[in-house]
Structure 1
Amino acid sequence: MKDIYELLNDIEIDESEFEEMSVNDIERAKVKKTLKNSIKRKNNWKKKGIAVASAGIITTSVLGMAFPSYAKDIPIVRDIFAVLDIFETGVYKDYKKNSNDIDVTKVSNGISITINDAIFDGSTIIYTYTIESDRDLGDKPNVSDDVSIKGNFTSGMTGNSICEKVDENTYIGQSVRTISDFVKDKKDSIDFKINIDRLASFGSSPEEYKEEKGKWKFNISLDAVKGNTQVVNQSVEKEGIEAIIEEININPMSMNIVYTQKDSEEVMNKWDRTDISVDIRDDLGNVYQGEDNGGSGNTKGVMTWSKTFEKLKDGATKLIITPKATLSMNTKDNSGGVMFDEDGNEIDITSDRTGEGERKEIVFDEIIIELNK
């Protein structure tokens, strides 16, 4: 595949047709990083018992706007997984070549939505999409995409999504859904429906809010990307919190770590929120970037999480996992919402506490995993 410079060299351009663009520092840095990497690779949230996933957004629209007629011909735009790597971790850099081409388009209310690619790793679905409209939908439209899974499962899903403008009335997006029941019981295949019924633009004030309604429905079936699951079941404990590494799944595009935290009664009584994440490096010195998938649990201090990391480096035989816990107190500014008791009664969990709230971090001892060959 040609790199970006080769593709641009093949384009005949009249310089008088260019308009000077105003870009911010993030956009400028993103483009520089992408071009640099292209040259190098020329050949190639939680109240006890509740899990919430969140995502930040980084603008990635410069190239598509600068060369709209050729956007689909440039690899960075063609690979939506890579373009919308919102935390710039590199986790999704190998997803495109392992994904399934869907390329199904639905049109409603003058807006077409195409599901481009989708991939399933046994517990998490990730899909990309393109939106083409006959009117402006804002710079970062909110896509109301409801995902329903065929079959019986008792828990919910966590996830995140992002949608960015890349050209006039043209947008690309990515959505991630992790099915909690499947985290420790991975499936070989999945049938699911995507129902999109609203595209919203919030703007910078309530007066700028606008939405477009329609009916965009998709039925998708996927086989899971084959991977090797290794049961670990090793734990460490510190200050009343136990971190248990349950298993590791290594597949061609990523590593997925499943881990459980158990909070003591003392910890539960003192702290409103206790969240655990994990850092990973290997015996070769490589440090792996990852993104949290959220988790599920109960009101008794037990929570199971999963986190996806970039794929295993060649030659690595060991993984060194370091769990880290963040303990915090809820305040009016950092909490809110509701939870449900065992009888289905709604409980308001908004705190009356003011101020920033007490916070503490705990770093656990390392867990060393000998990888199966």
Structure 2
Amino acid sequence: MKKLYKQFNHLNIEMELEPMEVSDLEKERVKKNLIKNKKKRYISRNFSVAAALLVASSITFSFAFPTIAAKLPIMGDIFELFNNDEEYVFEKHNTYSTEIGISEESNGIDVTVTDAVYDGENITIAYTIKSEHDLGARPILDGNLVADEFENEYEYSGYAENYIIEKISEKEYAVVYIYELIKGPKPDKIHITWQGGTIIDLNNVNNTFQGDWSFQFSLNALESETQKFTGGSIITEEDSIEILVTKMTETPISTTLYLSEGVDIRLIAEEDEELRVVQIEYTVFDNLGNKYNTIHYRDIGHSTDFPKTRHSYPRLTTTNFHEKATSLTITPIINIYKKKENDTLLELVKEPYTIEPIYMPLNK
């Protein structure tokens, strides 16, 4: 999209241009970018030109530039919609994503896959859902994602799914779907088949819409570099909790920190008979004071249902670290839960608390 904006700046248009309808998604993207840039007290020259072309009384290039007109509404924009979300880790996804542009309609619901990117750690797919129906607050396409290269290794386990959803209008939604490759192959190229049979509202799983949506596309893995930490050099230990950073993988769009959590849950929860669950959250800062959003895969977690102390192997996916940062501070936040009376839900036993942070140098 940035390349497209640069092309706009060099266009010499000597013709009368007529207004056209622009999708709600595009209007929302422009609005959010304008607000974001106002906060920074500047608007870049390229964005100013593009915004002037797209807002309110938008213009059409369909007569002279049909290819540009076809791509304007959807390509490369969805990642930008979520820049205020606490899980926003997509700053560079637009630069490295592959434009897909495939739409499928079933039972009056249109699903359009706009972009996708694969960095060897995650497959990230941006798509829209549009319908005359009220699909609820957080609808997603529920289905199976497979690739020949996976050889059925992810058929039942070894992966995790994460969704970020934005309601663009009463009839349109934008979704970022993160398929995390946890334990299994990470091939250099994948040929994906994504088959969905249900639109489901994550806020109300009983609100579903049946259909048949199928997408096929190929993605090449981005280059990556992995640094392993041996001998427990990156570690914190406190109150029967031991947390290590075991390795870090960097790609052009993300950084993934792999952790090992060991918890003696009965000592922490001071309970042998009643159910207790320990969940560990994390904050990540660099030495410059920058805070990093994360997508947190929690693995099996920690519960008194387990017969003894067990290790869990979570990971944190975030953006690339600031080029001038030399170290990280990773602070574990301990949450202890119990089962509510006569309920399947959990409630906190006490206020969450932090333990000694992990201090991690960044080798430049």
TM-score of the aligned structures, taking structure 1 as reference length: 0.68
Residue from 130, 133, 145 that aligns with 1:148: 145
Deviations 1:61-103 (A, max 9, x none): xxxxx8597898589x952112034624542122111212222
Letter aligned with residue 248 of structure 2: I
**Alignment match, 1:287:** 291
Partner of 1:93: 91
Q: Identify the range of structure 1 (307-316 vs 185-194) with the bigger mean alpha-carbon deviation.
A: 185-194
- Select the residue among 144, 160, 163 that pairs with 1:161: 163
Match of 2:322 in 1: 313
Alignment of 1:350-361 (within 5 A): 356-361=347-352
- Partner SS for 1:284: coil
- Helix, strand or coil at the partner of 1:181: coil
Q: Do the aligned partners of residues 316 and 293 (structure 1) sit closer, same or farther apart at CA in structure 2, a change above 3 Å counting?
A: same
Shift in alpha-carbon separation, 1:330–1:188, aligned structure 2, 3 A: farther
Q: What residue in structure 1 maps to residue 197 of structure 2?
A: 197
Aligned pairs for 1:230-241 within 5 A: 230-232=227-229, 233=232, 234-241=234-241
After superposition, the Cα gap between the structure-2 partners of 1:147 and 1:290, relative to the gap in structure 1 and judged at 3 Å, is same
Cα distance in 2 between the residues matched to 1:11 and 1:163: 35
Q: What is the letter of the counterpart of residue 120 of structure 1?
A: Y
Number of residue pairs matched?
311
Q: Is the 8 A contact 2:82 2:88 kept in 1?
A: no
State the alpha-carbon separation in 2 of the partners of residues 128 and 175 from structure 1.
Answer: 6
**Percentage identity across paired residues of the two chains:** 24
User: With structure 2 as the length reference, what TM-score do the two structures score?
Assistant: 0.69
| Contact kept? 2:76, 2:115, Cα under 8 Å | no
User: Do the aligned partners of residues 194 and 358 (structure 1) sit closer, same or farther apart at CA in structure 2, a change above 3 Å counting?
Assistant: same
**Structure 1 residue 238, shift from structure 2 partner:** 0.8
Shift of 1:364: 2.7
Q: Give the Cα separation in 1 of the matches to 2:202 and 2:123.
A: 27
Q: Secondary structure at the match of 2:352?
A: strand
Q: How does 1:329-348 map to 2 (within 5 A)?
A: 329-332=338-341, 336=344
Partner SS for 1:136 = coil
2:25 aligns to what?
Answer: none
Residue 175 (structure 1) aligns with: 177
Instruction: Give the Cα separation in 2 of the matches to 1:144 and 1:40.
Output: 37
1:266 aligns with 2:257: no
In the alignment, is residue 212 of structure 1 matched against residue 215 of structure 2? Answer: no
Mean CA deviation greater in 283-292 or 90-99:
283-292
> Which residue pairs with 1:368 in the alignment?
359
CA 1:287/1:165 → structure 2, altered by over 3 Å: closer, same or farther?
Answer: closer
Structure 1: stretches of 5+ with no match in the other structure: 18-26, 45-65, 337-349
Residue 63 of structure 1: aligned partner: none
* Aligned counterpart, 2:116: 118
For residues 73 and 36 of structure 1, the distance between their equivalents in structure 2, rounded to whole angstroms, comes to 23
Shift of 1:274: 1.3
- Cα 1:86–1:199 shift into 2, 3 Å: farther
**Structure with larger RCO (C-alpha < 8 A, sep 6+):** 1
Counterpart CA distance in 2 for 1:68 and 1:260 is 54
Instruction: Extract unaligned runs of 5+ from structure 2.
Output: 10-15, 22-28, 47-54, 60-68
Tell me which of 328, 334, 353 is aligned to 1:325: 334
Q: Secondary structure at the match of 2:168?
A: strand
**CA distance in structure 1 between the partners assigned to 2:254 and 2:17 by the alignment:** 35
Root-mean-square deviation (CA), in Å? 4.1
Match of 1:277 in 2: 281
CA 1:198–1:36: 2 relative to 1, 3 Å: same
**Partner residue in 2 for 1:131:** 129
- Contact preservation (8 Å) 2:134, 2:170: no
Deviation at 1:12, TM superposition (A): 8.0
DSSP 3-state at the match of 1:105: strand
